[in-house]
């Protein structure tokens, strides 16, 4: 690999944090290369045991090595690294998290460092997926993108890339986020999104070794963990839906039962109640700053949802003659995929304007 003389000699104001469990020799090469480029390197041995101790010993020539006596998971290793950096290197500007198995190119780490200089914003790597992707990774990525979009109203082309940059000033808040394994990284993303913390996106090269054999990702358990961490945020949407449905039923039964348009009027009046409830719960649970940005986004999406519900309920109840509640309940499963692609389109346009 060739780098400029400036890159090789200049000391960086950024730390590269590498959580690692049962690594191969490439971890030593990665640590050495980053050290020679001027980065401070911190490696967390996540309970690799005696078999892998010699690799971490070699890394000590180029990196600070922090040890977990037992395996605690990637999220726990990242938080241990964050705590160590706050204590030992509080004057550094940024920390870049990278995997130690060769999935992140050194060139991309350098590019992320350069993009983050003076920005004071997180940067999230997004893999291009322009190579053959192992099936377990493809399924996990697809599920998490779909769930994230429907639960948070945000779409990301890749929400599981471990190459990320965070200002050191943000680390105390990241340490408080729950999760010890792969779900932690997803919770960090949803934290940034629900708190309305602006971040940048950066495309990175996709690298998978044959069969992805060095990965410690557990396809079933870790996919379920990641999905459950996103679904917790979706509970707000579910509760808002139930509030709107309850209000619409009550209006149609008691206030407008004699009106020929009782279903349509009930939905129109129930929608603002559902929206206000949604805004209040978001404000209480997530405390976004600025609140106005979240409010505008939710109002716009609520208008789209309201229009769809009105059309679908009218079609089902008046043309097919289904009961009002059944018509209302059927609307949301039918909306899932169109709504997903709407969120995807809006997010891609928004992200392209903020790069």
Position 240 in a domain: yes
Residue 351 has a pLDDT of 67
Residue 153 has a pLDDT of 84
Residues 272 and 300 in one domain: yes
- Nearest Cα to Cα of residue 42 among 123, 96, 1: 96
Residues 337 and 251 in one domain: yes
Residue 346 has a pLDDT of 83
Position 222 in a domain: no
- What tokens were used for 131? 């190579």
Residues 264 and 341 in one domain: yes
Residue 104 has a pLDDT of 86
- CATH number for the domain including 153? 3.90.550.10
Residues 61 and 192 in one domain: yes
Residues 17 and 60 in one domain: yes
Residue 5 has a pLDDT of 40
- What is the Cα 127 distance to its own chain's centre? 13
Give the chain's domain count. 2
Position 248 in a domain: yes
**200 DSSP β-pair partners:** 123
- What tokens were used for 292? 């106005």
Residues 235 and 195 in one domain: no
Residue given tokens 């400029």 in the structure block:
4
Digits of tens for pLDDT over the chain (355 positions)? 444 444 555 667 999 999 999 889 999 999 999 999 999 999 999 998 889 999 999 999 999 999 999 999 999 999 999 999 999 999 999 999 998 887 888 999 999 999 999 889 999 998 876 666 666 667 777 777 888 888 888 888 888 888 999 999 999 999 999 888 878 998 898 888 888 788 999 999 876 655 445 555 555 565 666 677 677 778 888 888 899 999 999 999 999 988 988 888 999 999 999 989 988 888 887 777 777 877 888 888 888 888 888 899 889 988 889 998 999 889 888 888 888 898 888 887 776 655 5
- Nearest Cα to Cα of residue 129 among 106, 161, 97: 161
Residues 249 and 321 in one domain: yes
Residue 143 has a pLDDT of 79
Write out the residue range of the structural domain in which residue 256 sits: 231-354
Residue 166 has a pLDDT of 97
């Amino acid at each position: 690999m060739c780098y400029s003389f400036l890159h090789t000699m200049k000391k960086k104001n950024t730390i590269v944090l590498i959580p690692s469990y049962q690594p191969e020799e490439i971890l030593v090469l990665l640590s050495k290369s980053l050290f020679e480029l001027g980065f401070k390197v911190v490696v967390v041995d996540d309970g690799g045991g005696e078999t892998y101790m010699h690799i971490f010993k070699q890394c000590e020539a180029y990196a600070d090595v922090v040890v977990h006596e037992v395996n605690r998971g990637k999220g726990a290793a990242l938080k241990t690294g964050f705590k160590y950096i706050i204590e030992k290197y509080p004057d550094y500007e940024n920390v870049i998290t990278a995997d130690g198995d060769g999935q992140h190119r050194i060139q991309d780490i350098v590019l992320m460092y350069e993009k983050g200089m003076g920005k004071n914003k997180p940067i999230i790597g997004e893999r291009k997926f322009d190579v053959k992707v192992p099936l377990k990774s493809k399924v996990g990525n697809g599920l998490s993108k779909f769930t994230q979009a429907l639960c948070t109203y945000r779409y990301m082309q890749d929400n599981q890339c471990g190459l990320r940059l965070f200002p050191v000033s943000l680390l105390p808040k990241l340490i408080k986020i729950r999760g010890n394994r792969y779900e932690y990284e997803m919770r960090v993303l949803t934290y940034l999104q629900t708190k309305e913390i602006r971040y940048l996106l950066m495309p990175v090269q996709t690298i998978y070794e044959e069969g992805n054999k060095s990965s410690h990702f557990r396809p079933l358990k870790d996919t379920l963990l990641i999905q459950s961490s996103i679904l917790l945020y979706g509970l707000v949407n579910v509760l808002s839906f139930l509030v709107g449905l309850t209000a619409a039923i009550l209006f149609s039964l008691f206030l407008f039962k004699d009106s020929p348009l009782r279903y349509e009027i009930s939905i129109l009046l129930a929608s603002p109640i559902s929206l206000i409830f949604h805004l209040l719960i978001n404000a209480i649970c997530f405390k976004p700053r600025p609140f106005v940005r979240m409010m505008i986004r939710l109002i716009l999406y609520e208008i789209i949802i309201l229009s769809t519900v009105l059309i679908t309920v009218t079609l089902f109840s008046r043309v097919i003659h289904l009961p009002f509640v059944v018509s209302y309940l059927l609307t949301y499963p039918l909306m899932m995929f169109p709504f997903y692609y709407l969120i995807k389109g809006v997010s891609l346009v928004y992200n392209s304007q903020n790069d």
